[in-house]
Amino acid sequence: DAGVTQSPTHLIKTRGQQVTLRCSPKSGHDTVSWYQQALGQGPQFIFQYYEEEERQRGNFPDRFSGHQFPNYSSELNVNALLLGDSALYLCASSLAGGLKRYTDTQYFGPGTRLTVL
Amino acid sequence: AQKVTQAQTEISVVEKEDVTLDCVYETRDTTYYLFWYKQPPSGELVFLIRRNSFDEQNEISGRYSWNFQKSTSSFNFTITASQVVDSAVYFCALSEATVAGANNLFFGTGTRLTVIP
């Protein structure tokens, strides 16, 4: 049973560039969430995708955008990179709760370490 | 507003000692979920446990146990007879169930546990 996978593992970019990170959810999951984890901090929620739409968004600027594909995989795009975007980007997958007041457990991938120079 | 506080930044124990990691949370929601994740040096967040707000029953899983007390808004994690492999950063997280089913996680800042052989 494949877990959550992310690519690439590491990435080095320069300020102003754009980056795309990729995530494949755990088998059977249909919801993908993205988190940013700065060094020494806890992960911070960026956004969540379900049925190819952004369902919820954290406090991140519009430079951060995403996409979910019909096979449930997802991409995170960051435009106009800043030094402060250097972080570990974590993808998590879960099963949708629909309209019920229900929360499924999120399972995380190994992350992509982004360094902005 | 939601908040998770892990006051212990770093803890060091000698192998075979017991250790308790503290977690205090704040939420206005009556339905919420609490989680503990382990982050080893590899970076991947490993799910340990989930608790919903209706279930205050404590749980034991091998050397791990969790104490959930709504009266003090705490969800503490105890490792009995610690081992070197327990060395990692441990995160407590909160999720508030929403009508739409979105389930983003709010993380504490983590506690770095070092088990000395």
Is B103–A88 a contact, with Cβ atoms under 8 angstroms apart? Answer: no
Residue of A nearest to B35 (CA): A105
> How is residue A117 annotated by DSSP?
-
> Are B25 and B53 spatial neighbours (Cβ–Cβ below 8 Å)?
no
> Are B102 and B54 spatial neighbours (Cβ–Cβ below 8 Å)?
no
Is A97–B97 a contact, with Cβ atoms under 8 angstroms apart? Answer: yes
Comparing A11-15, A98-102, B42-46, B49-53, the range with the smallest average pLDDT is A98-102
A-chain CB neighbours of B7 within 8 Å are: none
- Does residue B69 register a pLDDT over 80? yes
Q: Looking at residue A101, what is its pLDDT?
A: 45
- The one-digit pLDDT tens for each residue of chain A (117 residues) are 679 999 999 999 999 999 999 999 999 888 999 999 999 999 999 999 988 999 889 999 999 999 999 999 999 999 999 999 999 999 999 987 555 445 688 999 999 999 999
Q: How far is CA A94 from CA A25, A73, B21, in A?
A: 8, 12, 26
Residue of A nearest to B36 (CA): A105
